[in-house]
Chains A and B, each alone.
Chain A
């Protein structure tokens, strides 16, 4: 009983962290000045706002005794989804950023330094 309660509390804390990350990410998506920083906000939304609360949901499900055996199905599904998102989302945003930078489709406009552009041989 006590251990289940601790699991549920930790899970709820993780879900709350996820809500905070989602809120920050959505504000960033609206307020950030160019594509790359907005992409940064989007990845905050996928990792902080999806992976963390999914693990929290898994802990909540694992601690909910009244669900019976099925809570392990729910917990396992949530953990596997979290691992998949953790693996696939960064690859996707990496591919997006790389393609945008290489093709020059998105300008790095308010910039302080762009070392990748310098490495590739200066301004386009």
Chain B
């Protein structure tokens, strides 16, 4: 329990903090124009070239600036971020190796929450997936993208896990191994999309960059930015789709591993740990 004196000290220090911070802002500690104009130069450059048919050599040809920056202007950076995320998932799978999680033969009707919650979940499941798909598939046109769409799609298996229990969804195909396969398909797609322009250019003998999207000065090959008048953003659409699959499957693996009871882990520990599946 906190005493009154401690509460008083906390309150006064919080008030002092806010006052000092406002003083710093008021006397111009961070400059008088926020954000500073130096940042605005680079921002205006991105705004100019994100979708600009008159400057094809600099443009990403997708109207959504964030996705253009994430998957085109700094594409390799995003690739390595993605790699970090999947290394983390691989690490957690490695920690849980040998833990099967017990395929109990149980009565499905008695598992999970009540019938009311189950029905509502069944109705809302399709809507969750539809929203996730729209976030990811329109990622090059409207705010959103592959990671956001995948994270939204992972809500669906999470809700299934809570409402129907892990035994139920593992019986119906959402297991660690199928998710691992899906995740690998997503990662393979991301890798292939990074090289697709190179592969096209190799066929015609022209030079090309890895992670290239639109034509550049010395590498004239590029992805088409529209198909039949619909904007695709070249490689951006493919990156978003594959990233969604990979992220959704990766998060599902984590949720499945977290849902394994502590007892199962303890069983493995008691055995000495060395056994593999």
Select A87's contact among B113, B114, B123, beta carbons within 8 Å.
Answer: B123
Q: How far is the CB of B117 from chain A (nearest CB, A)?
A: 5
In the complex, what residues of A have CB within 8 A of residue B124's CB?
84, 87-88
For residue B120, CB closer than 8 A to chain A, the reply is yes
Q: Is B123 within 8 A of A95, CB to CB? A: no
Contacts of B114 in A (CB 8 A): 94-95, 98
B106 within 8 A of A: no
Chain B residues in 8 Å Cβ range of A98: 113-114
- Give the total of B residues in contact with A, Cβ under 8 Å: 9
Tell me the minimal C-beta distance from B206 to chain A in angstroms.
45
Q: Contact size class for A?
A: under 10
Please tell me if the beta carbons of B113 and A88 are within 8 angstroms of each other in the complex.
no
Interface residues of B in 67-113 (CB under 8 A from A): 113
Interface residues of B in 109-137 (CB under 8 A from A): 113-114, 116-117, 120-121, 123-124, 127
B161 to chain A, nearest CB (A): 14
B189 to chain A, nearest CB (A): 32
A94 B123 Cβ-Cβ under 8 A: no
Enumerate B20-68 residues with CB–CB distance to A below 8 Å.
none
**Scoring B residues 120 to 161 as 1 if CB is less than 8 Å from chain A, else 0, what string do you get?**
110110010000000000000000000000000000000000
- Residue among A84, A90, A95 making CB contact with B113, cutoff 8 Å: A95
Contact residues in A for B121 (Cβ distance below 8 Å): 91
Q: Which of A77-112 contact B (CB under 8 A)?
A: 84, 87-88, 90-91, 94-95, 98-99
B-side residues, CB < 8 A to A, are: 113-114, 116-117, 120-121, 123-124, 127
Q: Please list 14 pairs of residues, one from A and one from B, whose beta carbons are closer than 8 Å in the complex, sorted by A's number.
A: A84-B127, A87-B124, A88-B120, A88-B124, A90-B116, A91-B116, A91-B117, A91-B120, A91-B121, A94-B114, A94-B116, A94-B117, A95-B114, A95-B117
